[in-house]
Amino acid sequence: MARVYNFNAGPAALPLPVLEKAQAEMLDIAGSGMSVMELSHRSKDFQAIIDAAEAGVRKLLGVSDDYAVLFMQGGASLQFASIPMNLRRPGKSADFVDTGSWASKAIKEAKVTGGVNVVWSGKEESYMRTPKPEELNFSADAEYVHICSNETIGGIRFPEFPKTNVPLIADMSSEIMSRAIDVNQFGMIYAGAQKNIGPSGLALVIIRKDLIERTPENVPIFLRYKTHADEGSLYNTPNTWGIYIVKLITDWMESIGGIAGMQKINEGKAGKLYSVLDSSNFWKAPADKASRSIMNVVWRLPSEELEAKFVSEAKNAGMIGLKGHRSVGGIRASIYNAVPVEAIDALIAFMKDFESKNG
């Protein structure tokens, strides 16, 4: 069966060269006579893999020795709970920016264990934009500021990150390694791997080492960042397969020009698609133009019936994952790092043909 063009929001497309490399090494990794999924996580063979994955992350993102790079389980959702438990000390509160579904989930989880200040919310505007810098008034005594840098469902992102006097923490699950960032602007970055950097079941955490020391003694040992930092992400059996794929993806990204090269490709893909959406009243892209995501492009058609027809016919044409999130409907194309330019070209050709027949 021919491979399809995968526009799923996550688990999402993986680079074909990475899949082919993993296929070739499936039965024997590095001459071990075993699959990576059979290796002991305490072995020298796997230590070489996790070291290479961390080195790849550090090189691509420019992560200094001031930060720990952790490979953790539980996805970004576990981090929603772990962050306030580790970094918000007793009697303190943290500031949150509510830009959509994922920011809202982080807020909900943080409220379970302590104080939360929502300093801005786009809920009344149906989460169509991110805030302007002048709209953000952070608390002087906040333990940290939390944002979701790119909202998968609404298709919006921060074009620039807020300036803060306290640690800035960002959920970058749906845009990690898609554009150049200054890691030093953040106290912590975290991301579920399944959109841009690996398979599901793994979370990447990049945290400033001084913040690791904040954790109160009543936090369970397994949920402490220090536990995993001290053990090199090997406190318990990690997702060995996921870490191996991260290693292969960082190698692949280096081969295409690193994050600068990736950003150029991503902006080109998104630009092509938004150009079509802006060319006709048949399509409606609801996100504010200044906040448009280059990873998740969302739009509507004149009726829900046409949207259902669009999704069905696109699937028959070899393009899957275009149905919008169930909470908002519409159409969504997630065009992550691994989605090739050819997929965008095929989608655009299909869109033009669909409009000519249904417009």
DSSP 190-223: EEETTTTTS-SS-EEEEEEHHHHTT--TTS-GGG
Is 98 part of any domain?
Answer: yes
d(CA 168, CA 143): 9
Mean pLDDT of 48-74: 98
266-278: per-residue pLDDT in tens? Answer: 999 999 999 999 9
Give the chain's mean pLDDT. Answer: 97
Rounded to two decimals, the pTM is 0.97
Catalytic residue among 21, 95, 98, 171: 171
What is the band of 359 on the pLDDT scale with cuts at 50, 70, 90? Answer: confident
**Structural domain includes residue 8:** no
Q: Which residues contact 83 (CB under 8 A, 6 or more apart)?
A: 106, 110, 144, 146, 169, 188, 190
What is the C-alpha separation between 359 and 351, in angstroms, rounded? 11
Confidence of residue 169 (pLDDT cuts 50, 70, 90): very high
Does residue 2 surpass a pLDDT of 90?
no
Tens-place pLDDT, residues 211-261: 999 999 999 999 999 999 999 999 999 999 999 999 999 999 999 999 999
Q: Examine residue 270 and state whether it is found in any structural domain, yes or no.
A: yes
As a 3-state breakdown, the chain gives helix, strand, coil percent values, each rounded to 5, of 40, 15, 45
Last residue of a domain, one of 209, 236, 255: 255
pLDDT-based confidence at 317, cuts 50/70/90? Answer: very high
Residues 234, 96: contact at Cβ < 8 Å?
no
Same domain, 104 and 137: yes
Residue 59 within any structural domain of the chain: yes
Where is the domain boundary, 236, 255, 274?
255
Same domain, 276 and 249: no
Give per-residue pLDDT as tens, 71-102.
999 999 999 999 999 999 999 999 999 999 99
Q: Give domain status of residue 3, yes or no.
A: no
Q: Are residues 276 and 241 in the same domain?
A: no
Average pLDDT estimate for 298-326:
97
- Beta strands at 331-334 and 296-299: parallel, antiparallel or unpaired: antiparallel
Residue 200: pLDDT band (50, 70, 90) is very high
Residues 103 and 39 in one domain: yes
Angle, CA 315 vertex, CA 312 and CA 316 arms, to 5°: 90
**Residues 278 and 218 occupy one common structural domain:** no
* Contacts of residue 278, Cβ cutoff 8 Å, sequence gap at least 6: 285
In a domain, 197, yes or no: yes
The answer to whether residue 171 is catalytic is yes
The residue out of 239, 255, 271 marking a domain boundary is 255
CATH number of 232's domain:
3.40.640.10
In a domain, 85, yes or no: yes
Asked whether residue 1 is assigned to any structural domain, the reply reads no
Taking only the tens place, the pLDDT of each residue in 323-354 is: 999 999 999 999 999 999 999 999 999 999 99
What is the rounded distance in angstroms from the CA atom of residue 121 to the CA atom of residue 244?
38
Looking at the structure, tell me whether residues 225 and 343 fall in a common domain: no
| Residue 325 pLDDT | 94
Mean pLDDT of 294-322: 98
List the catalytic residue out of 98, 120, 195, 226: 195
- Same-domain check for residues 308 and 335: yes
Do 235 and 319 fall into the same domain?
A: no
Q: 195 and 74 in one domain?
A: yes
Among this protein's residues, is 251 annotated catalytic?
Answer: no
pLDDT at 1 over 80: no
Of 95, 102, 226, 323, the catalytic one is: 102
> Does 309 share its domain with 174?
no
CA distances from 249 to 37, 131, 184 (A): 17, 32, 23
User: What is the tally of structural domains in the chain?
Assistant: 2
pLDDT over 70 for what percent of the chain? 100
C-alpha span between 358 and 68 (Å, rounded)? 53
Residue 302 structural domain: 258-358
